[in-house]
């Protein structure tokens, strides 16, 4: 499953609970359910999940 697809899937399950979505995504990454191609900035799974959440749902397009 792609990263954005996983984030959208979690949003469908947890709705507006941003903290839960971020925590579940970070847990999924640590469990190997989703992969990052690289980790150039050595971000934790939680920090990466926060940024992905913002880029997926909050950023104006």
Domain map (residue ranges) of the chain:
3-58
19-49 pLDDT, tens digit each: 999 999 999 999 999 999 899 999 999 999 9
Cβ-Cβ contacts under 8 Å for 17 (sequence gap 6 or more): none
Report the C-alpha gap between 3 and 19 in whole angstroms.
17
How far apart (Å, rounded) are the C-alpha atoms in residues 29 and 57? 19
What is the distance between the alpha carbons of residues 21 and 42, in angstroms, rounded to a whole number? 21
pTM beyond 0.85, yes or no: yes
Cβ within 8 Å of residue 53, ≥6 positions away: 7, 18, 21, 22, 25
Question: 61 pLDDT exceeds 70?
Answer: no
């Amino acid at each position: 499953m792609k990263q954005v697809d996983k984030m959208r899937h979690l949003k469908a399950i947890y709705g507006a609970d941003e903290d839960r979505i971020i925590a579940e995504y970070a847990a999924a990454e640590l469990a190997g359910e989703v992969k990052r191609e690289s980790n150039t900035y050595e971000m934790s799974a939680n920090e990466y999940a926060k940024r992905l959440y913002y880029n997926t749902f909050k950023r104006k397009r």
